[in-house]
Amino acid sequence: MENINWYPGHMKKTRELIQENLKLVDLVIEVIDSRIPVSSRNPIIDSLIENKLRLIVLNKSDLSDRDENRKWGNRFINEGNKVITMNCMLGSNLDKLNKELQNTQNEKNEIRNMTKSLKLMIVGVPNVGKSSLINRMTGKKSTRTGDKPGVTRGKQWLTLKNGMQLLDTPGILWPKFEDPNVGMNLAFCGSIRDEILDTTDLAYELIKLLEVQYPKLLMERFKLDSISDDTLENMDAIALKRGFILPGKKIDYERTGRTLLDEFRSGKIGNITLEKIKDSE
């Protein structure tokens, strides 16, 4: 697949929104996808936030490899960040997040010798779970959520139950993915609209990864007898097992691709982390 270059106008506005409001906040909550902890971190956000206190939420941790969650959490902590693993949709570990925020507020108030509610900014790439997290933090449906990237629009200051103020920002991508694997990983996880990509090609690339990293899960989910060295043969085998056959005994690659992506994104194939920390790191 070709390198993905996708930077709609609202992404530029979001960048400007972050720049304009960063000085108003005490803490930035960066939501990332625990299945792709590198690809779901926008380098533009890094350059904008710089030394601002940051709390990283490893979202969708119920879908990713638990051993890798632990390794990535330790990595981010060693880099000076606060870290919480969560399923933002269900609100798992919300109590830990609230406790961490309260501790941060207490520390800030002690330093400035005054009582003041913490001001937060939440950032992340599209469809990473920011809106779900905000809904859990406010205890109500404060923002629109959907299964497609780019649902949240505009600037929203929200008041949390504990009185803290939270600025929501729309998901932001960056102008060009220098590493084509980054764009691919974001597409696998649904952070780039499926409409701008070929679903069949995308699923083919996902199978290529899974047959190396998680062959057992791939075999178990699709009841395959073995994993072939030929990715197309594996895709054909998945289609045959599911009965995705068109008239003339042709493989329905579109349906096969769509099914594979849906089942990966929903965790039906298993707990999978596409970007791992090497043991030597």
Tens of pLDDT, residues 171-193: 666 555 667 788 899 999 988 87
For residue 85, list its beta bridge partners: 58
Of the candidate ranges 92-101, 123-132, 141-150, 188-197, the one whose mean pLDDT is the lowest: 141-150
Give whole-number Cα distances, 126 to 162, 211, 212, 228, in Å.
27, 27, 28, 34
Residue 41 has pLDDT above 60, yes or no: yes
Of the candidate ranges 28-37, 50-59, 211-220, the one whose mean pLDDT is the lowest: 50-59
Based on its alpha-carbon atoms, the radius of gyration of the chain, rounded to whole angstroms, reads: 20
What residue segments make up the domains of the chain, in order of their start? 9-168, 198-265
Q: How far apart are CA 26 and CA 101, in angstroms?
A: 10
User: What CATH code is assigned to 198-265?
Assistant: 1.10.1580.10
Give the residue, 94 or 4, on which the prediction is more confident: 94
Continuous segment of H or E residues that includes residue 159: strand 156-159
pLDDT in tens, 188-232: 998 887 777 799 999 999 999 999 999 999 999 999 999 999 999
Single pTM value for the model: 0.85
Residue 9 has pLDDT above 50, yes or no: yes
Classify residue 237 by burial, with Cβ atoms within 10 Å: 0-12, 13-18, 19+. Answer: buried
- 145-155: average pLDDT: 43
- Model confidence at 256, pLDDT cuts 50, 70, 90, reads very high
Same topology between domain 9-168 and domain 198-265: no
What's the confidence (pLDDT) of residue 176?
59
Give 8's contacts (C-beta < 8 A, 6+ positions apart): 150
Residue 31 has pLDDT above 60, yes or no: yes
Q: How far apart are CA 275 and CA 144, in angstroms?
A: 29
CATH superfamily placement of domain 9-168: P-loop containing nucleotide triphosphate hydrolases (3.40.50.300)
